[in-house]
Every structure is written in structure tokens, then in C-alpha cells.
A and B are shown apart, each in its own frame.
Chain A
Amino acid sequence: MFKFIHAADLHLDSPLQKLERYEGVPVDEVRGATRHALENLVDLALAEEVALVILAGDLYDGDWKDYNTGLFLNAQMVRLQEGGVRVLLIRGNHDAANTMTKSLRLPENVRSFSEKRPETEILEDLGVAVHGQSFASRAETDNLAAGYPDPVPGMFNIGMLHSSVTGREGHENYAPCSLETLTLKGYDYWALGHAHTREILSRTPFVAYSGNIQGRHARETGPRGCWLVTVDDGIMQEPEFRELDTVRWELVSVDLTGARTGSEAVDRAVPELGAAVERGEERPVIVRIEMGGGCPADVELRSDIRKWENELRSRAQEIGRGRIWVEKVVLNTRAPDHGERLGEGPLQEIMALLDELEADDETFAGLCAELEGFWAKVPPELRRGRDSLAPGNPDRIRDLLGRVRPLLLDRFERGEA
């Protein structure tokens, strides 16, 4: 009998994205989360006395240049070496892009598979054959799996592959292949990397993504870790998922349908926040709060979202016992609409203007142009991707425009400022 661990997408030293610090959040506990997750992996391997650790690609971020990261990885691999654990790894798209990958001398217990051709490592003592191939370049578009060798008869065959198996959304389509290619290969276990969400694609043979070992932003929620697999006399037992993450990301959705005031909205969010803290067990939990539903509170919330965010953070602090970090509050709420519109009047003038801006791209562009000097200052990190803060991303900017009406109504309401 022997055990092995399948993990992938360590993304060591990848920062927690756009995570604003504020008073009372567990900064120290969150620092170095990806490193601690790797330490957890090594601890697990030693505690479970696994024979083999399989890392299916993406040890680093592609554009991360600090050799210290590599040295840290080495230190952890040495710990495994001292415990008599062998490590097999393939390089993924990020590793291929990273210069460190080539220059780092790995300890002797670590074998990195070639990027030129698929290779097979035979572990006679375990009765295991591991097949794998690394990425040669960042954008590997060949179907690598197709070229993998036939299984070695009489052995437990494991395939390591960094790939986007057909139908995995949200990840670049590298080393594409179909699930069928994998299941028909005749291997016993396919250790996949690349997709950051854990997923079992097939049970016989077992084909699975382990997901990354530590979530790094609001879309990487829930437990993160690795598969711990026990093979007894060539027969695999059901793989166990083991959590490794030291910081948990959670998405808290709050239904505000019918809520009348901002305070009520906060009250509704509180139990959900409590539940998120519970889910994180003892870890620090980073929470994104998404509020939705038709409600009169929408106006109050949108008029000063910062204020309500602070309110939620403060309430979270009370229930989170120093472990909760509210990353952001996203409003998907809408004001209840009775269908009719007030006729002519000053306020109606504002509504009419906003309607025009909403409907007419040219007017909208004119409005954006008034902020010309500002757009140029938006740093590149905030201009990337679907959240880009630039006139070129009208959905995002129109969302901000949507806050104008509540803001003005609220200011008028408050009397003298």
C-alpha cells in the first residue's frame, strides 16, 4: 500500500488581489498565504507518510521575478526529501513564462518532466508509472495528452497534465484535450492542473483537477487543497480531498428583497457573515458581499456605498472575532419600480438626463470626456480585465452612473450639509 498527493497551481507568492486593508483586519494571519498553504501540503505529506507528491503545474505566477520564491519552494522540497518523499512535477503555462523555472536547481528528490516529449517515470518499488510532459511555452496549443505513451502493464499508471479539458471556462485554452482522450488512454489516474476550481471529471478512471491550494481573489471561494490518494495492491481507494488553504475567500449573497433601509440591509447581511466565519473554521475569512433584490433600500445604499461598506465591516468585526475581512460590497439591488414616472419638474429633469446618458452612447462619451485628466491616471492594474475602470468598459462606468440619482436624492434629503 502507498499514498500519494495530487496538487497543482501553487502560484507561490501570488498576491491577494485588490484586498484593501483597514483597521482591525487580520493582516498578519493573511500574509504569505500561498506559502503557508504549501507548508501545509508538506506537513500533510509528512504526516500521512505519502510516497509521492505530484504537482501538475503552475508553481509560480508567470510574471513574478523574485528568486526568493524559488528558494522557498526548494526549502519545502528539501523537507520532503528529508522525509523520504519523492516529488514529480510538470511545468504549466505560468512556469513556462517564468525565468526562474530554468535557473532553479531542484533537490534530488524532485523530478521535473521534459517539455520536449512526454516521459514516463517508473517507480518499481511502488509499482507505479507516472507519465507527464511540461509546457515548453506560455501558450501551449498542442494536445499534449494525445502524445502520451500507452500504460505500462501491471503497474498503477498516473498521467500528469496541465491542460484545459474541453468545457473548462474561465481559463485560457492551453494544451486542449477532450475528456474522452484521457479516459481512453488506459491510465488509472489523471492528475490535472490549470483550472483553479476542484473538479472530478470522471471516476473510472479517476480524472480530476485538484484546484489551487490557496484562493487569491473573490472568485476563488471555498476550501482549497489537494487530493490524497491511497493505492492498495494496485487498487485505488476513493481519493480524499484535504484542505490546505490558510485563508478562506467566501462570497456572501444577501437577498434584500423588500428591505426598506440601509440598516435593515446590514441586519440581513449579519447572519450570512456569521455563517461565512463558521465555514472558515479557524481561518481568517475574506468575504465579498453581494446584495441583490428589489428594495427601497437600494437608494440609500447606492447614495453612499462607502458608508454602508464601513458599517458592514464594523458589524463583521463584531461577529468575526478578528478573523473576518470584508473585501468589498457589490450592489446588484434595484429600486422597486411602479412603472409610472413623474411628469415635469426639476428632479424629473435629472432623471431625464440620466435616461439620456443611459440610452445614448454619444452623450455618455461626452460625460466621460469631462473626466479626461482623470482617466489617464488610472493605473494599468485597474484597467485590465472585465473590471477595467475606463470609459472603454462602459458597463462598469454606467454602473457608477447608476449611483448618481441615489446620491443626489440622499443629499437633497439630508438638508443642509
Chain B
Amino acid sequence: MKLNRLDLLAFGPFTNRSLVFGGTGHGLHVVYGPNEAGKSSALRALRQLLYGIDHKSGDGFLHPYEKMRVGALLEHSDGRTLECVRRKGRSNTLLDPEEDTPLDEGVLHNFLGGVDQDGFQKMFGIDHADLVRGGREILAGKGDIGRILFSAGAGISNLQSVQETLEKQVQELFKPSGKKPVINTALARIKEVQAEMRSLQLSAGKWAGHDRELRKTMKRREEVAARLREAQRQAGLLERILEGLPAATVRREILGRLDALRDAPLLADDFSARRQKTASDLRVAEHTVTRVGQALDSVRERLNACEVPETVLAEEARITGLYQTYGMIRKADEDRKVRVGQLGAARRGAEAILRDLGHDPGTTDPDSLHLPRTERIRLKELMDEDGELRIEVRQNEATLAELGEQRRVLELEQSALKPPRGIAGLKQTLERVMKLGDLEERCSELRLSITREQELAHAAMLRAGRWKGGLEELEAVSFPEPERIDIFAERLQADRAELDRAGERERDLRQRLDGVADQIQRLAGEEDVPVEGDLRVIRESRTLGWKMIRAAWLEGRLAGEEVLRYADGCGSDPGALAAAYEQVVEECDRIADRMRTRADVVARKSALLQERESLERQHRESEVGIREQEERLKRTGQEWTGLWAEHGLVPDSPREMSAWVRKMEQVQAQLTGIRERRGELDLVEDRAGRAGQELRDRLEELAEPVPPGGPGAVADHCRAVVEESENLAAAAARVDRDLVRIAGEERQAGAAKQELAARRSAWQASWAPLVRRLGLDESAGPSLVQAVLEQLDELGKRVLEQKDFQVRIDGIDRDARTFEAELDELLGRVLPRVLGESIETRVAELHGELVRARAVRERSRALEKELSDLAGQLDAARTETVRLRGTWSELCREAGCSERDDLIRVENLAARRRHEENQLQVREEQLLGLSGGLDLQEFTGMIFVEDADTLEPRLEALQSEIRTLHEEASELDQRIGTERTELARMDGRSRAAELADESQSLLGRLERDMEEYVQLRFSAIVLKRAIERYRDRNQGPLVQRASELFSRMTLGNFSGLRVQYAEKDPVLVGLRADSRDTIPVEGMSEGTADQLYLGFRLAGLEQYLEHNEPVPFVVDDLLITFDDDRSRASLQALAELAARTQVIFFTHHAHLVDLARESVDPDVLRCQEI
């Protein structure tokens, strides 16, 4: 096959671009494409043309996937040609370009001689990277001839690494005697898991064993418990008896002692204590009476010795008051000294100020200098006003300057503005056009919708089928109305139903007839069933016979002929007649009898015969009815077909036709819609045209340039013109407005200036008289006036202070005089001896006298209080003595005695009786505690019955048994626990089952690994065998041809190649041209190895092409690292290959094109550029 033309219809950057590879013979086609020209895309296009466009193609950037197309004209070696186009898709992607119908891939496959995509890329494609890889493989393979032949023959450049990888993967998966590889590890792990699983599996026997042991142990445990209870009971009784024995004995003795004390009285528990307390209290009370009487006498004596000074105590309050006032008098005297100093200082301060203001302090009254309050306020106001006036004047001057500046700026701006234009007309037109909306958009929407609707209608029409005409014809057609179709449907249905009914009826009648015939048949078959007719005939025969017998008997007349006939030829004598008659009578009776006995059958048979007759008649009628009905149906059918004839249609059933007509009517409705839209489109287009024209006219009126484009663009431009013009007008108006405003403000500022000057002169008029009042010149400013005022204030303050100090000093002197007068008056009455002493002595003496009088009064009061207390105590002690003597008599009465000593003896007897009784109670309580529910008498009885000496040994024996039983019980409990734990561990757990799952999981994984191992091993073996076989078959001729090519491509550096048989496998070596030396492959340079590989590739191809359909050899920039000479030699080798198949050489190196032109026969070489 060769490629005559490659059509890059829509692929990568190409659109409808063709590369032509024509000419006679195959040719070496050099396709030159500089970078970015699409060389690689063209290469891909060629491959994908032949084998399908990639599912995720990167060449759909310009043309969407569904539009991608690449085509070609191919020519088979037998002269056939194939023109085809490949589209992108999943199936049926190879198309006939004429018909646009799918082509059989098999045809293309045949053109390719069965080469699949892989083979095409590997064997019939080579690029620089392949070459380099191939060369390296040869170097690495150290001349392994098998591999070289195989990889060059198939165009595989990684054969060695494929083999090595396979071997490595195999080793990683499994080694027969290894431990680490995946499969070996997995096998070991599975064994482990299964072993663990088995160890966890619980056997049935083990469970039952534990179960049995548990039951046995529990039974024994119950027995032990019972015996233990009994032994403990016995031991307990013995223990109690042993413990109760001493108490029982003591009790017996106490009872004896109590018997002797039975006469002693039972005194109350506290009797003895009461008796002792009463005796002691009585002694204490009698002693108290004596002691208190003596103390009373002593106090009375001391009271009489006391004398209280009443005169002094009568003036107690006044003396205390004077003593306190004296403290204050002393303090005021101190204060007075300070005030005198302050008074002098104030006077000196006032004199200094007066001098400062220029007055003589000796002559000037400071009060004459005082300024009234109203005038001071007025002065202050004028000073404030002066400040305000100054500020306002400054502000007024600034305002005037600012306004002047603003006016100058605005005047400049005004002179720079452009004059406005008249745009009212344009604006009006534009607004009208805008109201119409976006007409262009509407047009394109309408066009799109018309096209879509039309496609839809067309598709709907095609889907509905049946209609042979086009859409335009369809629109005009009117099909039969649905009502008519319905009528036909009903008629046809009614006719058919009627026919069915008639048929049904006919079948029914036939069945009934068959039934009746069948019944008649059955009756006949059963036995002879006579009917009325049979009886009538035989009776007539009987009457005839009787007539003849009667004639012969009564008339003696025998009608010979008739008799003979009657007797059925048996004779004409009376005997024959009688016999015949007799037979007839018998038959007559038999029939009559039979009719009587089988009356029901007879009746049924008659009825059946009648029914058959009737049914046969009905059946004939129904057959006629069917034929008529068939005829009617046929006529209706013809009418139905006729209804459609005018449209050239052959109708199906009315239901289908009705559905079809509905679909058609929908299509017609769509068509009507389309027509309406077309009308609308015309209208809108017209409107748009006119709007555009109007706008253009307006622009011309304004001498504006008219922009190119549709009404939309024109409208946009108009909007810009209007906007600009409006902005200009607005600016001018703003400037005018501002100028007017500034003129007004300047006027206001001038007026304010004049008003300020007036206010200043008024102020001066008020200011001058006031300043003169202060003794200042009228030109004095506010600051000077302020200083003078402050001095005058200070002078006023000093004068006031002098007055205050004088008042205070006078007050202190008055108080001292008053105090001394009062003191002397009192002393005259109370203590005249100190009058005339210093005031300190007078005051101190008077106070000392009062203190002494107070002390005497206190002592006297204390003694009176003591006297009253002692008298109370004496009364109480006497009362207590009387009470205690009464109590004592009461105690004697209780003990039943009169004497004091006897009372103590009786008291002792009673105490002994009580003691014994208490002891008895203790023992009895002890015994009751041990009795175990028996009463005291029974229990002591049991104790005294027992032999005390045998008790202890018996108890010991029992206790020993109890200990043994306890030990056994504990052991049994432990065993029960163990067994229960064992059984609890066998709880139906699922661990073993989980391990079984795990084992299965590992097996699943293992199976997969093992499959992979087999696959990899098989692959390695098959590949190795294939390499060996290929080498055996092809070594001779291939090495020879490669040797020639290699020699030429190395420009004679090597004379050729040879296979050397070393120890193991045969090895390829190079032969030096200048010597007979052999060079091992691994000794060659990389470039030489590349050429060696290329030599084998070409040799392999040539060999293949000897026997197979040629396929173009596609070379992609192969020679970029070759020098010019070697490139020439290689191009020549490719040209030689071109004798056998087409060679397509893609390059983006222009110099390779030149080299090809130099070195290759022009008949073979064809160059073109992308």
C-alpha cells in the first residue's frame, strides 16, 4: 500500500489541507516543516487515519471532537485504490467520503497487509529517540545477535530491559527455595493462620468433658455442705454447755445466800446517799449562823466613824464648771498674742499699696479710692468689646481678599468655554430609536429560532413518515378531519364486530347441531326406541288382521290373496292368518309396552328430531348473513382507501392514521409559526434600517462624522455626541451662577467694614470718662486699666483684715474679766482662806477641796451596802437549819428505825441483799444468752445432765471434722470455678471462623499472585524462545544485508559485520576496513551503534517486504545527530528502501532537504513543505 494523498480536513491546526505523495513508484518523500508548522500533528494524523483518532485526542483544540476529520487516498500494491475519511468516535469511524457512510475496517486492514497499530508504529515508524535507544540496547547487549535481530526486526528498542524486568518480577514473586518472595511469604503465612485456626477450634469432646466434671463437682459440694451444717450444730451446743457450766454453778450458790437475807428491807437505791448528804448539810448550816452574826457587829462600828463635808459637795457643779472654763481662758490668752502680730502686718501692707498708687498713707483714706461696682462692670464690658472689634476687623479684611481671588479664576474659566450646539433634534430621534429596543439582537434571535423550528418541523415530518412531499407542500395540504376518520374507525369496527358475531353464531349453531346429532346417535345406539309412528303402523296391521279373522269366523269368508300378503307369504289358510295375527298383536303389545316403559327416551328422541330440523334452518340463514356482512366490510374498506387517494397515501388503520394526522397537523402548526416569525423578522429588519437612516441624517445635520456599522453602532455614536454637548452646557451654567454669587458676597463684606468703623468711635466715647475716674489719661489702654483695678482690690482686702483682728482681741480681754469675778464670789462662800492668792493657786485649791469631799462620801456608802448583805445571809442560814432537821426524821421513818446509829446498820443489811440479787441476775443473763432458745430451767437441767469431763474431747473431735469439711468445700469451690471458667471460654466465640475467613482472604490474594507468576514466567519463556527461533531463521541473510548497509553508512570505516561463535551464544562483531581486526559491539562509539541499529532496522524491513504487502515507512527527523556525509549515506539507504515501499521522511531541518537533493536520484525524491 502506498499513501497518495493525506487530507488534513479538520485536525490539529489544519483545515482542508492536503499533502500529496504522488508520482510513479513509491518514492522517498521529504516533508519539510519548520517548528510550529504542524509536522507532529501531520504525523499523528497519518497514524490516526489508519487506526482511529485517540479517545482523548489533543488535536481537537481548533476543531471540536465531533468535527475532527482526516482523509486519505490509498493505493494497494494490486492497483486498487481506497479513498476514506476518519472521524472521531466509538464505532463506524471510517467513512466513505462520497457517501458519508461507514466503511468496513477490514478493507483498510487488508490495504495495511494486516499490520496493526502497534506494528505500524514500531516496524514502520522510527524517530531519533528510537534510534538512540536501539543503539544503546545493542551496546548493552554486548552483541547478542538474537536480541539485535529481534529488536531491530520488530522495531523494539527496549527488548533487553523488558526481559530483565520480567526476570526481576518473577524473582520477586516466587523462588522455589526462597523465603522472602511474595508467594513464599504468603504460603508460610497461610500455614500459620491455619495452624492457629486449628488450635482455636474447640472439640466437642473437650466441652462435654468439662461439662461432666462440673456437674460431678457440684453434687459433691452439696453433700459436703449438708454434713458441715450438722457438725457445726452439734459443736455449737457443746460449746454453749461448756461455757454455761461455771455460771450455772455460781447461780446455785447465790440462790443459797439470798435465802438467809430474806428479812432485810429493800431500801431505795439512793437511800444511803441521801442519808449522808442530809447529815453533812446540817453541819454546814449551823456553822454559818454563828459566823455571819459576828461580821455584822464589826461593820456597824466602822460606819459610825465616817463624817461627810456637805457645803463643798453642794457647790460641786459650779466648781467643776469653773475648773473647766479656766482651761479655755488660758488658751484664749495664747491666741491673743498671735492676733496682735497679724494686725500690725495688715496695716503695713495697706500703707505700701497706697504709696504705690501715689498717695500719702498718712493723709489718704483708703475708702475714698473705692470704685463703685457698676463702673467696674462697665469698664470690663468695654475691654471685652475692644477685643471683639479687633478680631472682626481682621476677618472682614480676609473675606474681601478671598472673594477677589475667586472672581478672577471664574472669569478665566468663562473665557475658555466652547459655545454650545443645537442637539435637541438628534436627542429626540435617538430617544425614539432607543424605545424600539435592540433590533439587531431581535433579528438574530428570530433567524435562529426560524432555523431551529424549521429543523424541528422537518425532523418531526421525517419521524412521522409516510409523507412523500416536502415541508412547503405539507403546509398547504388539508387532511381528512378527525371526525371523518373516527366515523370510518367506528364503521370498520362495527362491520368487523358484526362479521365476528355472525361467525360466532354460525359456529355456535354448528356446534349445537353436532351436539344434537350426537345425542340422537347415542339414543339410537343404546337400543330400539319406538316412536308414535311405529305404534300407529302396527295397530293398523292389527285392525286389518282382525277384520280378516272376523270375516272368516263370522262370515266364513277367507280372502286368500290378502291373507297371503298379511301372513307374509306363509300361506293363505286360517292357521297362517292366526299365526300372523298373533305375531302382530304381540308386536303391538311389545311396542306399546316399550313406549310406556321408555316413555322418557321416546319423548327425548322426538324432541331432538324436532330441534335438529330447526337448527338446520337457522344455520343456513346464518351462512347467508356472513356472506352479506363480508361484502359490506369490503365496501367500507374501499371507501376508506379512497379517502386518502388524493394525497397519494395508502392508509393503515384509522387509529394509526388519526395519530399520523395529528402529528402532521402539529408540523403544520409549527410551519404556520415559522411563517409568522418570518413576517416578524421582515418587519423588525425594516424598522432597524429606518432607525439607522434617521440617526445618520441627524448626524449629518450637525456636521458630525457618521461611523460605519449598523444602527446599533450609529446609536452608540449619537449617544456620545449628545452626552458631550450636554456636559458643555452644564459647565457654562455653573460658572455664571458662581460669578453672581461672588458679587453679592463682596457687597456684604463692604457694608460690614463701614459698620465696624462706627462701632469703634462709639466705644472711644464711653471709655474716656471712666478712665479719667481712675486718675488715668484717656489714652490709657485696657491693660493699664486692668493693672490699676487689681491694685485697688488688694488695698480693700488689707483694710478689711485690720478690722477683723481688732474685734477678736477685744473679745478675749472681756472673757478673762468675767471669769475672775465669778471665781472670787464662790471662794468667798466655800474657801475664803485662799482669796488674794494668784489665780492659778485659787483655782487649784478650790478643785482640791472638792476631790477630798467626794472620797469621804464614797466610803460611807460602801459600808451601808455591806451591812444590808450580811443581815440577809443570817436569815437564810437559819431557815436551812430548820428544813434539814425535818429531812433526817423522814429518813429514819423510811428505814423503820428511830435511832441514828440503827439507821446505818439496817442500811448495811439492805445493801448486801441487793448485791446478791444483782449477781444472780448477771449469771442468769449469761445462761440465757447461751441457752439457744431454751428456758433457764431446761438449759441448766441439760448442763447438769452432761458429764463435764467428756465435753471438751467431744468438742475437739467435732471442730476437727468441721475444719476438714471446710477445706474440702473450698477445694470444690475452686474446681467449680475452674470448670465454669473453662466452659465460659467456650462461649460460641467466632475467632476460629474469623481465621478461616482470613485464610480465605490470603488464599484469594495468593491465587492472584500465582496467576501473575504464571503469566510472567510464560511471557519470559515465550519471549526467549521467540528470540531464538527468529535468530535461527533469519540470521544469515539479515546479517549480510545489514553488514552492507552498515559499511556504507559508516563511510567505509567498517567493512562489514560478522557473527562470532564464542563459548555461549553467538555474538556480533564489526570488521575494520583497514585491517582484519574485529571490533566487539561494546567497543563501538554511540553514533556507530546508532548506524548499526539503523542498518538492522532497514535490513529487517526489506526482508519483511519481500513477502508482504508494503506499508509506508515513516521517518521522523532521524538524522539530526549524523554528520553530512553519514546523513547522505543514510538518505541513500532510505532511497534504496523506497524501491520496495514508500518512505515518508518528516524533518524540520532545511539542510537535510538540501542534502537529500544532492545525494538522492531526483526520480525517487519528492520534496514538499507543510
Contacts and interface: CB of A to CB of B under 8 A. Distances in A.
Interface stretch (B76-84, B765-773, B922-930, B992-1000): B992-1000
A382 interface: yes
A286 to B, nearest CB: 11
Contact of A400 (B110, B119, B162, B1011): B1011
Interface string B267-295: 00000000000000000000000000000
Given A417-B161, A417-B165, A340 B109 contact: yes
B55 A264 contact: yes
A292 interface: no
A315 to B, nearest CB: 17
A168 interface: no
A353 interface: yes
Interface stretch (A66-74, A178-186, A201-209, A230-238): A66-74
Given A65-B203, A400-B1015, A413-B118, A343 B113 contact: yes
A403 interface: yes
Contact of B1018 (A20, A343, A367): A367
B986 A71 contact: yes
A342 B105 contact: no
Contact of B994 (A32, A65, A340): A32
Contacts of B998: 21
A408 B106 contact: no
A35 interface: yes
B187 interface: yes
Q: Which A-B residue pairs are the 9 nearest by beta carbons?
A: A20-B1004, A71-B988, A373-B176, A340-B114, A72-B988, A103-B204, A13-B993, A18-B1004, A346-B154
B1107 interface: yes
Contacts of B205: 103
A251 interface: no
A339 B202 CA distance: 62
Query: Which of A21, A31, A367, A404: most chain B CB closer than 10 A?
Result: A404
Contacts of B1108: 342-344
B1003 interface: yes
A342 B154 contact: no
A340 B1 CA distance: 15
A17 B1026 contact: no
Contact of A353 (B149, B986, B1026): B1026
Given A35-B990, A69-B988, A71-B207, 4 more contacts: A68-B989, A344-B1103, A370-B1021, A407-B1019
B1001 interface: yes
Interface string B1003-1025: 11111101111111111011101
Nearest to B991: A68
A338 B207 CA distance: 68
Contact of B1007 (A18, A258, A374, A408): A18
A350 B1022 contact: yes
A404 B118 contact: no
Contacts of A342: 113-116, 119, 1108
Which secondary structure characterizes the binding site on chain B? helix
A371 B986 contact: no
Nearest to A306: B1012
A261 interface: yes
Contact of A347 (B119, B206, B996): B119
Contacts of B992: 13, 66, 68
Interface string A57-92: 000000011111111111100000000000000000
A66 B1021 contact: no
Nearest to B55: A260
Interface in A362-382: 367, 370-371, 373-374, 377-379, 381-382
Nearest to A267: B55
Given A99-B204, A343-B1107, A404-B1015, A416 B133 contact: yes
A153 interface: no
B1029 interface: yes
A357 to B, nearest CB: 8
Contacts of A66: 200-202, 992-993
Interface string B178-200: 00000110010010000000101
A13 B133 CA distance: 58
A273 to B, nearest CB: 19
A248 B106 CA distance: 44
A416 B158 contact: yes
B122 interface: yes
Interface string A386-417: 00010000000100110110011101111111
20 contacts: A13-B996, A15-B993, A18-B1007, A19-B997, A31-B994, A65-B198, A66-B202, A100-B204, A261-B55, A340-B114, A344-B1103, A346-B149, A346-B1030, A347-B122, A370-B1017, A370-B1021, A371-B1017, A411-B165, A411-B166, A416-B158
Contact of B187 (A258, A327, A377): A377
Contacts of A68: 201-202, 986-993
Nearest to A415: B158
B109 A338 contact: yes
Given A258-B91, A408-B1023, A411-B162, A345 B154 contact: yes
Given A258-B90, A379-B1006, A404-B1015, A346 B115 contact: no
A75 B984 CA distance: 13
A71 to B, nearest CB: 4
With most chain A CB atoms within 10 A of its CB, the pick from B184, B996, B1016 is: B996
Contacts of A20: 1001, 1004-1005, 1008
A122 interface: no
Contacts of B1023: 350, 408
A415 B155 CA distance: 11
B1142 interface: no
A252 interface: no
Interface string A327-343: 11000000000111111
B150 interface: yes
A67 B986 contact: yes
A99 B201 CA distance: 13
A417 B166 CA distance: 10
A349 interface: yes
B153 A345 contact: yes
B9 interface: no
B584 interface: no
Nearest to B177: A373
Nearest to B1013: A374
Contacts of B91: 258
A16 interface: yes
A340 B1029 contact: no
Contacts of B1015: 400, 403-404, 407
Given A15-B993, A373-B176, A389 B1011 contact: yes
B52 interface: yes
A202 to B, nearest CB: 36
Given A353-B1025, A374-B1013, A382-B1006, A67 B204 contact: yes
B113 A344 contact: no
A374 B1004 CA distance: 17
A152 interface: no
Interface in B1066-1120: 1100, 1103-1104, 1107-1108
A402 B899 CA distance: 144
Interface string A91-113: 00000000110111000000000
B1104 A345 contact: yes
B304 to A, nearest CB: 115
B996 A379 contact: no
B997 A31 contact: yes
B114 A67 contact: no
B123 interface: yes
A128 interface: no
Contact of A15 (B1000, B1014, B1022): B1000
Q: Which of A68, A367, A400, A409 has the most CB of B within 10 A?
A: A68
